[in-house]
Every structure is written in structure tokens, then in C-alpha cells.
Amino acid sequence: MTLRVYNTLSRQKEPFETLTPGVVRMYVCGPTVYDDAHIGHGMSTLVFDVIRRYLEFKGYEVRHVMNFTDVDDKIIQRARALGRDAFAIADGYVEQYQRHMIELGVLPPTVLPRVSQTIAEIIDMVQTLIAQGYAYESEGDVYFRVRQDEDYGKLSRRTIEHALSSDRARFGDDLKEDAADFALWKAQKAPDEPAWPSPWGLGRPGWHIECSAMARRYLGPTLDIHGGGNDLIFPHHENEIAQSESCNAAPMARFWIHNGMLQLRGEKMSKSLGNIISLHAFLAAHEADAFRLLVLGSHYRKPLAIDDEIVGQAERGLERLRGALRPPTGSQSSGPAVAALVAAADAARARFIAAMDDDFNTAAALGHLYDLVKAINTARDEGVAGPDFAQAQAALLHLSGVLGLRLVVDAPAAPSDAAPFIDLLIEIRRELRQARQWALADLIRDRLAAMGVGIEDSREGATWRWER
């Protein structure tokens, strides 16, 4: 089955094709680093981590760029409120976010650029837009002429009049040619504002131009995927398209992918409602894999509802997956029960791939993993053991890994707490090697190595040790 992906631009699923065969250029809008990361940030990060993992499973090389907005009005306001340096505040929250990504088992993006490191590229892009007549300077500010772009609104299906309702659109109304125009560059208004020299005087970038410049610098004028939360469709992504396509005379992205928003106990999570849950607080009370499973249990485009019951369901689902990795209790290595397990494992893999090929339908893919869990547990109860049983467990571990699930306890109180589980994996690996299933055996070795477990093979068998 061909991978089909929902494109916000066309409002339909399309066959996934890239500009360069075998290579995916993916840019995902990252956080504005002025406060603690919350579970909504974590949700979006996990969505695109899974998309990347599945594309790599399909054989693509994924060049993944996620930015940090470390220059922004919100950071300046926070710095003033705390009496601290704006860059020091941003640096602290960047480090915090990166720690959370490690906790969540997120693959490191290929590049993690910051706005403050991309000023030269931003200025160059603004100069090009001015030269082409798409932008103009006004008392040190630079604005994009929205009405100059005939395609404005094609992503969000909104008219220019919608731009007038944006708080950010009202910035500098008295300096604009048209109230709908948006800022590309903001003149420094106070000594404590971060600022860089430019042809228009000291100033800093506007919100939207930052991502356009970073995407072009690291991935070129046209992306295969541009991703982010659906709250960014307008005005951020709409304005990115306007300035990027006007500057580069090329489509900004082939596919626009947007995840739904998180709802906490039936309400949108927001600071105004006072119902923000930080990632730090959530991960202090729950396992990272439970949070990942919670996110995977809903289609990425839908709103994700979270309450205590749903979190509990995710935790129980995680235990079901782990429970299927318990060792066999019998010795039957052939017969109808073994054949049934082999068929179930093959079917689960095929259905898992079909689900993920249908716009990354993780909820359906998880359902097929649970079918495999049931088949493994039934086979164990019927006394099945041997290479086929080990291969079914390895298939579960492998497919779970495609979704980023580690199926191990995040932080055992002591290495000995994990020893029985590691012994089981070593035994599964031994049987896979005997069955000449080298790829699956190597997968277990590599996954254990990533967790700090070293394996040494000898004629007497394999032994393991903690390496960190």
C-alpha cells in the first residue's frame, strides 16, 4: 500500500511523494521558549517524532529541522517581569525542552536552529522582499504587503479581513500602508530589547519570517513536509507561505501536516483557564511511554482529550504490551498453536503497516499491536515456546519501536530491578540467533545498548552488564 498523507493545503489525503526520491525534508515549528514546556508541546513533539520514525521505517532519509524561537515579545515581557536577561531566560528553557525530549525518547532533530543564530539569513530574506516590491520600510520597521500576494489565504481558507483580527496584525498600525500587513522586522523601541544592526537600524525579526528563513537555510526553498499544531495554520503558516513563496518563487512545502489541540478534562488547555500541566509535572507522576501511548491512541489530526481515566487507560495499555514480553512457560515449538501464532504475527505486521500508511493512523496501528499481544498471550497459555514464540515477541518489540515505545521501565530504582526483563530479552535474542533471524537479534542488542546494557557473546552464551 502506498503511504497517503492528509495535506492541509488541499484538504485531502494524497500519495506521499518527495522532491528527491528517498529523502524527506521536514520542518516543524518548535516552541517559543519563555516558560515551562507543557504537555501540549509534548504532544506535538511526539506526533512528529512518530511521523519521522515511520518514514525512516519506510526507508526514507529524514532531514528533520525543529526551531527554537528565542527572540519574541513574550520572552522580552517575561525578562522584564523577572528582571533578567532575555537571552538567559531563553537559554534556560531551551535546555529544559531538550531534557524533556530525551525523557520522552524523541529522536534528536537533524538541526535545532535558533532565531538568534539566523539573523543574517532573515535580513537577507527581508531585503529580497523589499527589492521585489513585496515589503516596505517604515520608521525602522519592515512590513509585508499582504494584498500584493494574490494567493494569500490558500492554506487557511481565510480572507485578508481575517488578518485584521490578529493581535499581532495590529502591531504598528500607524506605520503600515494597510492594516492587514504584518511585520517582518521590528525596530528596537527600548534598550532592553534584543536587537541587531540592519539596513533599517537596530531591530529584531518579526515572528513569521524567522521560520521561513530557518527552513530555507537548512532545507532549501521547498520542503516536503511543514508541520505544527493546527493553531498555527493562521496567521503563522499562512504568513510563512506568503513571504516564502514571494521571496523564492517556489512552493514552500508539498505537504502541510497539522496536529490537533490538547483538551484537559473537556476544556482547551490554556493559561487563561489556569489548567496548564507542565511536562515536568506530568513526567514526575507518569512514565514517558504512558504519555506516548496516550498520544498515539488518538489520530494526530483530532483533538486529544486528557483526564485521569484516559491516562489510566494508557498506563494499563502499556502494561499489556510489556506483559506480552514475559517468557514462555511451555516447550511446544511446532503444531497448530505455533502456526496460529506465526500467522497472527504476520497479520499484525501487515495491518500495522496498512494503518500507518493511511495518514499515520497510530490509533489503528496500536489496535493491531494489541491483537498481537492477545495472540502471544494465548500461545503462551497453550505452551508455545521456541524460535517462533521469540520471533513474535521480537515483532511486537520492533513494531512498538517504530512508534517510539521502549516497553521498559523509565528509571528502575536499581539495576537489579530490570535484570529479569533483560535476562528475558537475552534469551529471546539467543533463540532468534539460533533461528538465523539476525536482524531481529541485532535489534534487541542495539535497543539494550541504547539503554546502557552491554552484551558479550561467547561460546558459552551471552552475558550482559550495565555500562552506565
CB count within 10 Å of CB 335 equals 11
pLDDT tier at 283 (50, 70, 90 boundaries)? very high
Integer Rg of the chain from CA: 25
Distance of alpha carbon 447 from alpha carbon 453, whole angstroms: 9
- Whole-number pLDDT of residue 455: 87
Inform me whether the pLDDT recorded for 414 exceeds 60. Answer: no
d(CA 342, CA 182): 59
Phi/psi at 406 (nearest 5 deg)? -95, -20
Higher pLDDT, 448 or 239: 239
Assign 173 a pLDDT band (cuts: 50, 70, 90).
confident
DSSP state of 327: P
Query: pLDDT tens, 4-23?
Result: 999 999 999 999 999 999 99
Mean pLDDT of the chain: 91
Query: What does the pLDDT average to over 363-370?
Result: 98
Instruction: Please report which helix (H) or strand (E) contains residue 295, including its range.
Output: helix 288-296
Phi-psi category of residue 206: left, alpha or beta, with phi > 0 → left and psi -120 to 50 → alpha:
beta
**What's residue 410's pLDDT?**
42
Q: What is the pLDDT of residue 451?
A: 74
Interval 227-276: pLDDT, tens:
999 999 999 999 999 999 999 999 999 999 999 999 887 777 776 677 88
pLDDT band at 409 (very low <50, low <70, confident <90, very high): very low
The answer to whether the pTM exceeds 0.85 is yes
Instruction: Pick 329 or 371 by higher pLDDT.
Output: 371
Closest CA to 269 of 306, 236, 229, 237: 306
Q: How far apart are CA 344 and CA 355, in angstroms?
A: 16
Q: What is the dihedral of CA 152, 156, 161, 167, to 10 degrees?
A: -110
Query: How many whole angstroms separate alpha carbon 392 and alpha carbon 373?
Result: 9
The single-letter code of the amino acid at 51 is I
> Cell numbers of 290, please?
504512558
Residue 38, strand partner residues: 278
Asked whether the predicted pLDDT for residue 163 surpasses 70, the reply is no
- Name the burial class of residue 384, with classes exposed (0-12), middle (13-18) and buried (19+) by CB atoms within 10 angstroms of its CB: buried
How far from 201 is each of 187, 214, 387, 412, CA to CA, in Å? 7, 22, 70, 55
Counted residue by residue, the chain has a size of: 468
- Ranges 42-51, 150-159, 325-334: which has the least confidence: 325-334
Ordered by where they begin, the domains of the chain are 4-268 (3.40.50.620), 329-466 (no CATH)
